[in-house]
Amino acid sequence: MSDVERLAREMEVARNIQRDFLPESLPVARGVELEAALQPAREVSGDFYDAFVLPASGTIVVVVGDVCDKGVGAALFMALFRSLIRASADPVQGGAIQMIGGRRTIVRQYLESATPADLLTRVAGFTNDYIARLHGRTNMFATVFLGALDPGTGRLDYVNAGHEPALVIAPTGGIQELRPTGPALGLLPDREFKAGVVTLEPRDGFVAFTDGLVEARSPAGEAFGAQRLRDVLRANSTSAAGLVRGVLDTLQAFTESAEPHDDVTILAASLAP
């Protein structure tokens, strides 16, 4: 096997391993539809997304992240960021709770009684401090959107750590931006993260995405842009699947054969009427 073939094989293995870090399926909850997609610009990606249910409350946690830089280094840190967020957001299912005393502990009771806002700010702070303190010399960081959706009420608590504003799309066409509430994760330790909150009404849509979407270029060099994205979302807001498919189809038609310069990730949710 030549060096080129060996490298290609190793990249294929890395791509498959990284794919396993993404959820095999998205949570199913009555009245809520979820859809997501990730299109890497290279063999491996610095983008990631996740979605899982907290068993104690039924809250759906959604995550979209974008690690700085590209290539293998970004892919390695993508796996680290994703694992830190999942383990700290869901320590029982993620296995972390077993390391501090098993299933029935005061610590577990405290974690499960935390409000969604407390949960998200704790996750952001823990992940930020871990990266900044243990891996600060690498200068790697990630912008991340963290959300906690209550399927029963439509309440969405969120922490936006230096990420692109997520969007809430109303059936009337109005769009609300969920702007940053704190800095990117991993830059400096002991940073402050605040939580925001919004209520998704029936027939509302929600979209979180990475900047590779709005920064994608046409063959002529034009950026896809925020306004084009908003127009597509308004035209496809009836379902999460429609939002994702509408964006990806429009993006493909816009970029045509142009080589992608960044990963593109999108996660959408919609509430049934």
Residue 36 phi/psi, 5-degree rounding, is: -150, 160
The per-residue pLDDT for 99 is: 43
φ and ψ at 189, to 5 degrees? -75, 165
> What 3-state DSSP class applies to 54?
coil
Average pLDDT, 10 consecutive residues per value, the chain (273 residues)? 67 69 90 96 87 91 93 86 91 49 48 82 96 95 98 97 98 96 97 98 97 96 96 94 97 92 95 90
- Residue 126: what pLDDT? 95
Q: How far apart are CA 266 and CA 64, in angstroms?
A: 8
pLDDT at 91: 66
pLDDT in the model for residue 14? 62
Q: 223 has which bridge partners?
A: 217
Point out which residues pair with 35 in neighbouring strands. 268
113 pairs with which residues across the strands? none
pLDDT of residue 42: 79
Domain ranges of the chain: 32-271
Predicted pLDDT at 4: 65
Helix 226-235 and helix 240-255: axis angle, to 10°? Answer: 140
Which amino acid, residue 29? Answer: A
- Do 1 and 9 meet the contact criterion of CB atoms below 8 Å apart? yes
The string of DSSP letters for 72-119 reads HHHHHHHHHHHHHHHHHHSHHHHSGGGGGT-SS-HHHHHHHHS-HHHH
Cβ contact 192:177 at 8 Å: no
Cβ count near 78 (within 10 Å): 24
Q: What is the DSSP letter of 64?
A: E
Closest CA to 144 of 96, 110, 191: 191
Whole-number pLDDT of residue 114: 80
Q: How much is the pLDDT for 3?
A: 65
Q: Which residue bears the tokens 């969007």?
A: 167
Class of domain 32-271: alpha beta
d(CA 8, CA 248): 27
